[in-house]
Amino acid sequence: MTTQAHVEADYPGASIYDHSPILIQVCPPRYLNPKPFRLFKTVLNHTDFGRLVNESW
């Protein structure tokens, strides 16, 4: 699984030199809410799955 982190770059300002510092802050991804459910292949292969979906839909 690939995750994305939050990245911020701050350029404090130019100086008399030809090099300017960059402050980089990398924050790990935050997972605020868990996934609501997972659908497993075993559920899809159940003999009554198609009938149940048709009746519920």
Enclosing domain of residue 34: 6-56
Convert the pLDDT of each residue in 1-56 to its tens digit.
455 667 888 887 766 777 778 888 888 776 667 777 778 888 889 899 899 889 98
Q: Is residue 14 part of a domain?
A: yes
Q: What is the pTM of this model?
A: 0.35
Contact between 7 and 23 under an 8 Å Cβ cutoff? The reply is no
What distance in Å separates the CA atoms of residue 39 and residue 57, rounded to the nearest whole number? 17
Q: Is residue 1 part of a domain?
A: no
Report the domain count for the chain: 1
Note the pLDDT of residue 19.
Answer: 76
Q: Is residue 23 part of a domain?
A: yes
Note the pLDDT of residue 4.
Answer: 62
Note the pLDDT of residue 2.
Answer: 52
DSSP percent split of the chain into helix, strand, coil, nearest 5:
20, 20, 60
Q: Is residue 26 part of a domain?
A: yes
